[in-house]
Structures are given as structure tokens and as C-alpha cells.
Amino acid sequence: MAARLHPGALAAVLSLLLAATGSLCWGATYHVAQTVAAASDQNAGTQQSPFKTIGAALRVVKPGDTILIGEGTYREEVVWEGEDWKNPDVRMTLAAAPGARPVIKGSEIVPGPWERADVKLASPPATLPAIYSCPWEPYSQMVFVDETPLKQIGLQGSPARAEGRNGFQYQKQWDGKSVEDMRPGSFFYDKDSKRLYAWLADGGDPEDHVIEASVRDDGIGLRGTWTVRGLDVRHFQDGFWPHEQAVAVTGDRAVVEDCHITHNDFLGLIVSGEDGVIRRNELACNGLEGMTSNRGYRMLVEGNEFHHNAWRGDVVCLTYGNKWVMWRDSRFLRNRWHDEPAAALWLDISNANILIAENVFDNCACGIYFEISRWGLIVNNLFRNCGQGVWIYSADALVAHNIFDGCGAGITITGYPRTGTYAQAINEDVSKDCLMGVRNVLLINNILIDCPGAFIGITKSTPHGWGNWSDYNAFVWTLIPYHLTGYHLNFMQGWDELFSRLPMWRMQRHCDTHSVVVDPGLLREVQIGNPYVGLSQSEVFADARFIDRAGGDYRLAPDSPLIGKGVAIPSELNSVCAPCVGNQVQTRAFALTRLADAPDPNTAIPVYGTKADGHYRLQPLPPLHPLVDLDSAQPGTPGLNVKWRESGEYPRFKAAGEPDTAAPSDWVLSPTNLLVDPSFDKPLAQPGADASVQWVGGAGMHVFVSMACVNLLPAQRTNAIAYQKVGTVRANAEYLLAGDMTVNSVSKDYAGIAEMYVAVGDPTKPLGKIISIRREPTQGGSWNTYELHLRTGATGADPNVGQDLYVVIAARVDGPEGNTSPDPVVFARWDDLWLLSSPPEG
């Protein structure tokens, strides 16, 4: 007697079937089998009576159907845009038949006959050139000899692209001009005589080889909910927009898996939509980009191999390698990028909440470029021999637990005023722009090995690049040390300020105060007491003790001195990023900042572009919330986080909380710093000096390496202050005061208090809130960033309007009275202060 399914079990089975098929309406399955003798496009497309071409199956396929492709080489365009493609609940499938590996090609075999060509070369070789030619009608942009590509001579790529005016033209449009510029391993197409010339790398006769030339523009082009599986797609050339990609799938819940998309002229793969999966593909040797996309929500890119893309070189608009735009809540997991001459993983313009984990980057010009975006998690990745490991030009990004081995530069944060797209869904007006801010980027728990250019680079603190921080990293040097005191350990501020030696980096940028160094030569200098090293034996070690660095195993041995030298990262980061609902973004990453939308465009101050298209507000908006509270974090270990890898659970941004954007009428601020000498590059003037010229300080305040500092005695219970007059208080104005500030207590009896505020009329009379931090006895803290926002009232209603306006820094001691010891008990310091204000009225 047959067993009956329990109703709950039956529901579970139906649910699994629905997930697997996308619909409870099972469709037809069509078979394409080119090598079967009985195959014909007039057949019914059954397994016993298959179609001969994929195009025949596409003419009858409907949502819910499957096309299975047998062995063979299919020289055809595979395009489907049925009218009912928008139904996301019904999946279609285009896949290799079981056991088959079909190849879809954009080329045709060149039949010849090939003849020896008499060519007078511009640079004659020592031996007789072996150039052959044959008649050829189509304008081919790629030629292959037994699947090996020849180099194109003359105009590169599509003539239509070279003649276009959309900004997507190659930087280098020509390589030689005519057949006279040919060299071994190249081809030239003479469009006037319609002849194809080839010079094989070994000087052989093309008649002895299979010569294929590209003739098709569109490879696979599908719209709807499709699965594409197990196909090889090659030799498709650039037909200029919109005919420029080998594979393009547009629609929700698309799946592209187990495909080889290689040796195409312009773009390899495009997948745009929601909830898509791209996995276990090879994307290689594509002319401009291996993969690209201009829209993606909750996408997964996993287990793919990217290599040797961008062989055509850069285009004028700077997009080559592999580039994603406007992706949200998406993941890049366990991919391998290698031998990429451009950006391997480039996220550019309005990406948000992106997880990049467990990837490997080998021999890439740049591993990860996270640009004009927000909320990025770059964790547990391996970078080897890359020119630049990670480049951040965004906000609210965590770069943690990565390995950088032999990269020219490890991690770089750069920032300056620049626009970004303010589009929350694909159908919004993408002409709306914002002013990008590079803020709140945290670099912790990374191990950086032999990065001679710079281990870390961080933009200077400005209104547009601010609150970025690096600490608890390990800097490993196994090369020959070319300076006894560590001048081979380089760090960068901005684009061109180099700080050699970790102590100089700490003093100038206050970063990496808890980071450690592995350098046997430097350790010897510390051990013999060389006073110029500036590091202690507790932070310099001889060997990191990796399990097997040469074999690619960068786990730390149980006795590694780096264990415990990092911090534990919480599961939730202190920055709010609400996930998308459908394709609607709940957290507005960047608020509108066009001058035309300002309350009074005539008084707004443009900082990018002209008065018509400039911007008037800083983004992202304050308040700034450091991603991790380093002062209260528990100990951890730098390097790869094995627990994250095993569990698949990584830190995440807060999904709910106070919004961090505002209406266009708020935060109308000029990015011009109202302070003179914001980084304390000049000495403090004595009390009584002109406070509008520079900082005025007293009571032990002094300047040291671009910081305002003070050592406080036990008796200094009133504020030691420094101040600067910045004009007069204006009516109905907004002000933003920001800066870096810290305080340390070195006594068991005394706490330290540091402050920063705006004062009116008198430096001792605060206007509004005081930013204050307190360190209890023997408590230290990391260098932190703070900001203060205030708004004034109308003339006559606000008594402060018209009075002198000051910016003030102050510090004092809290503890037992009566101690007259001459030894300091509290140390406080400030740096990179700036004051912004709204434009004047009228």
C-alpha cells in the first residue's frame, strides 16, 4: 500500500518544487542537438526529433520552458525578448544538455584561399615576413588561429565606437595605421579592398590552421527570469551600443552558472535585476570588462574566476576591468581574480551595503576599488602581488581581517569634492547628484606583508575626507630592510605625502597606535637599544608564523606573536543601512545637493561645476558614527577570521535606527573651512594676540607635529584653552564644527576631560552644546572624531547674533585637590578642526 504524504509534508514538497522551478506550471522542454543526423529546425524539438539551431527553439519557447543544447559549435545569435518576459514567477532555462559542453560563437571560419601577400612594411624585419591575405566581406574586429587571438592592427574595435560621441571611446584608438604596420601575431582588415591579412606568430601558412574571424555582435541576449547554465560563449565583437556584450540577462531572479564567457571584444557578461545569482563561471579575455552591471538588488556573485580582461585597454570614461554600478544589498563571495590589468572588482557610483568576502586577488592592477558608494564590508580576502590592494573612495566602509602580500600599496583611502548619483531605483531621475564625502572608513585587523609603496594611505582630514581610521593591523616586512630604523615601512597621507616609519605615521595621523610590526632587522635594532626606532619590544616581532605562506595558507600558528594583537569586531556595526524592499531603497545614502534645489540658489556656494550644476551640501550628513567602538572592544587577532569563514556570518550594518539624511533645506553649509590653520601647522600665539589670525593659547597649550597638545598637572582643574575668532554670529545660520580629539589619563587618581565648542562674545561662554570626552583614571582612548551642529535665530530674537564668534578647545583635570606634584596626570590633543557655515543671507 502506497504511503500518503502528511499535509504539512506535501506543502513542504510543493514549496521545494516551486523554489526549484519558479512556478507550479511545468513548461515544455525543447532539445537542440546539432550533431544528431536527424536534427532539423523543422522538427518538433523533442529529444528524439531535436532542433538543429538554438534560434529555432527560441522561436517557440515561452515562460516556464526549458531549452537543452547538445554538443556542437553554434555560430548564431541567441536573443529572446518575448512580450511576457516581465513575469518574475515563471523561469525559463537555457542550458547545456546533460554531459554536453556546447559552444556559442560570434565568429565564422575563414575559408580562404590564403595567398602570400607582398607587403612593404614600415619596420622591415630581418627575415622575410610571412603575411597572407584572402577575400573577406565582413568587417571583423577579432581573428583567431586555432583559438589563439591575433593582435588587431589599425583602428581598434568597432568603427562605430570610434566615431561615436557618447564618451565611451578607447583612449588608444589606433595601433598602427595600415597593413604596413603589421608584425608577427597580428591581423589587419582592409575595408576598402575587403581583404583580411594575417601574420601568424610562428610564420606559418593559415591554410594549415583553423582561422576564425568575428562577425556577430549579439551573443546571448535574454529578458526575463532565466537560468543560463553550462555554455561556452566566445568571439562576439563590439557592435557599439546596444550591441556590445557576449551575454546579457535582464530580469529578476536570473541565474548564470557554470559558463565560460571568454575572448569577446567588449563586454563579457551583463546581469541586471533583483535577486540574481552569478556563480562558477569563467569570465576571461574580454576586451573591456569581464562582467558589468548598472543595477542590482540582493545579487550574489560567487565562486567565479575572472582573468585577463580589459585587453583592449581603457576607454575615455574610465570603465574597464569588471565594474558594477548601483548594486544594493549584494554579495561577492569566494571568487578568484587573477592577472587583471585593470580594476578587478570595481564598485562605482551609488552602491550600498555590499559584502566582499573570501575572495582571492592575484596579480591585479587593483584588487577592489569601492568608489562613490557607501556601506561596504571588505573582509577575509587575500591580495597577492597587486599594484593596489584595496582603494576606498566611499563612506562607512569596513576593511578588516584581510591579507595583503607583496602589493605595491596595501589599503588606500582617498577623497576630494566629487559628485555621485542620487538614484534610489532604476526609474528615478539619475541626473540628480550629490556631493560625495569620504567619511567613516575603518581599517582594522589586517595583515599587510611587504608593501613597499605604502602599507596604509588615508586622505587628509577635510570636510570631504574625514573620520577615517586605521588601527590594530600588523605590518610585516620580510624583504631586505634598507634602513635600520624602519624607513622602509611607508604610509601615505592623501596622494603625495609620504610618512616613512610607523612612529611618524602615528604622530602625524594618530592612526595605528595599537598596530604591530614584524621585521627581524628592526627587532634587532630595538633589542640593542637604538633610540631612533621609536618602537618597543612589545610591538616588534621577528616572525609572524604563518602556517604556510609560500603555499597560500596565511592562518597563524598557535604560537604566533600576532595572536591577541587585534580587536574583536561586533556582529552589528554602528551605521544604519536599511535593506531594500524590492528595488526601493529605504536608507537614502546621499541627499540631493544641486544648487537649483537649494533654498536660495543665488546665495549657495558651488564647490563642483558651475553655479547652475554645483552643489551646496556635504554628504553623507553628520552625525558620524564610528563603525566599531575601539575603546571598548575586546581583544582579537588580525588576519583571516576563521570563525567568519566557517559560519558564513559576517558583520552587518544596522537595519533600523535614526535616519542619517535630511530635507534639502537642512545642512546648507559652505565646504570652506572658516578656521585659519585648522591642522595647527603654526605655533599658538600668546593670549592677547589677534585671535582672527591664528590660534591663541595659554596654560601649557602648545603645537607638536600639527596637533594642539597639553599636559595637565593635578592642580589644573580649570580649563586650559586655545581659541580662534572666526567672525560674528549670523542670523538664521547653521554651523558645523568638527575635529579629531582625544584625552588620556596616566594617573590612578585623576580623570581627564577634553572639550571642543563654539563660543560667543567671550571664549569662555559656549554657544549651544559642548563636545566633551572624559577618560577615567589610567584610561586611554583611541583618537576619535566629533562634531557639533547648531542653528542660530533671527535678528532681535537671538541675542547672540552680531557678537564675536569663537572656536574653542579646552581640557581640565578632575580628581583630589591639594596635589602639587609637577608630574602631568592628563594629556589631551586636537587636530584637523574645521568650521562650516550656511551661506550668508540676502
Residues in contact with 830: Cβ distance below 8 Å, sequence separation at least 6, in sequence order:
680, 707, 708, 739, 740, 741, 754, 756, 809
More confident residue, 151 or 170: 151
* pLDDT band (50, 70, 90) for residue 599: low
More confident residue, 603 or 689: 689
How far is it between the farthest Cα atoms of the chain? 105
In the predicted model, is pLDDT for residue 527 greater than 90? yes
Between 19-28, 203-212, 297-306, 439-448, the lowest mean confidence (pLDDT) is in 19-28
Residues in contact with 282: Cβ distance below 8 Å, sequence separation at least 6, in sequence order:
259, 260, 261, 262, 304, 305, 307
Can you give the pLDDT at residue 622? 66
pLDDT tens figures, 330-368: 999 999 999 999 999 999 988 999 999 999 999 999 999
pLDDT tens figures, 366-391: 999 999 888 999 999 999 999 999 99
- Interval 783-799 mean pLDDT: 89
Q: Per-residue DSSP letters for 576-590?
A: E-PPPBTTB-SS-SS
- Interval 581-591 mean pLDDT: 72
pTM value is 0.92
Can you give the pLDDT at residue 407? 98
Q: Which of 348-357, 422-431, 612-621 has the highest mean pLDDT?
A: 348-357
Q: Per-residue DSSP letters for 182-211?
A: --TTEEEEETTTTEEEEE-TT---GGGS-E
**Cis peptide leading into 664, omega within 30 of 0?**
no
- Interval 648-660 mean pLDDT: 87
In the predicted model, is pLDDT for residue 160 greater than 60? yes
In the predicted model, is pLDDT for residue 607 greater than 80? no
Can you give the pLDDT at residue 18? 41
* pLDDT band (50, 70, 90) for residue 662: low
Please, are residues 454 and 484 in contact by the beta-carbon 8 Å criterion? Answer: no
- Interval 610-616 mean pLDDT: 51
In the predicted model, is pLDDT for residue 614 greater than 80? no
In the predicted model, is pLDDT for residue 11 greater than 50? no
Average pLDDT, whole number, for the chain?
89
Please, are residues 720 and 701 in contact by the beta-carbon 8 Å criterion? Answer: yes
pLDDT tens figures, 730-785: 999 889 999 999 999 999 999 999 999 999 999 999 998 899 999 999 888 877 88
More confident residue, 108 or 605: 108
pLDDT tens figures, 103-159: 999 999 999 999 999 999 988 888 889 999 999 999 999 999 999 999 999 999 999
Between 331-335, 396-400, 459-463, 476-480, the lowest mean confidence (pLDDT) is in 459-463
Compute CA 186 distance to the chain's CA centroid, rounded to the nearest angstrom.
36
Strands (E), 3-161: 29-32, 66-69, 73-74, 78-80, 92-96, 103-105, 107-109, 115-116, 132-135, 143-145, 148-149, 151-152, 154-155
Q: Alpha-carbon distance 263 to 132, whole Å?
A: 23
In the predicted model, is pLDDT for residue 690 greater than 90? no
* pLDDT band (50, 70, 90) for residue 588: low
Task: Using DSSP, state whether 597 is helix, strand or coil.
Answer: helix
Class of domain 696-837: mainly beta
Amino acid at 111: P
Task: Using DSSP, state whether 783 is helix, strand or coil.
Answer: coil
Domain with CATH 3.30.1910 in the chain: 29-101
User: Would you state the CATH architecture of domain 29-101?
Assistant: 2-Layer Sandwich (3.30)
Please, are residues 281 and 256 in contact by the beta-carbon 8 Å criterion? Answer: yes
Can you give the pLDDT at residue 652? 97
In the predicted model, is pLDDT for residue 434 greater than 60? yes
In the predicted model, is pLDDT for residue 449 greater than 90? yes
Can you give the pLDDT at residue 82? 77
More confident residue, 588 or 270: 270
Between 150-164, 177-191, 456-470, the lowest mean confidence (pLDDT) is in 456-470
- Interval 297-315 mean pLDDT: 95
Which residues on adjacent β-strands are paired with residue 418? 436
Task: Using DSSP, state whether 469 is helix, strand or coil.
Answer: strand
Residue 272, CA distances (Å) to 12, 245, 259 in order: 31, 13, 17
Task: Using DSSP, state whether 527 is helix, strand or coil.
Answer: helix
- Interval 195-213 mean pLDDT: 97
Domain with CATH 2.60.120.260 in the chain: 696-837
More confident residue, 717 or 658: 717
Task: Using DSSP, state whether 571 is helix, strand or coil.
Answer: coil
pLDDT tens figures, 262-290: 999 999 999 999 999 999 999 999 999 99
Residue 371, CA distances (Å) to 146, 350, 414, 661, 679 in order: 40, 8, 10, 20, 27
Residue 239, CA distances (Å) to 102, 236, 294, 467, 836 in order: 24, 9, 19, 46, 50
- Is the alpha carbon torsion for 10, 12, 17, 23 positive or negative? positive
Grid coordinates representing 829 are 590633543
More confident residue, 582 or 340: 340
Q: Per-residue DSSP letters for 288-337?
A: SEEEEES-EES-EEES-EEES--TT--BTT---EEEE-SEEEEEEES-EE
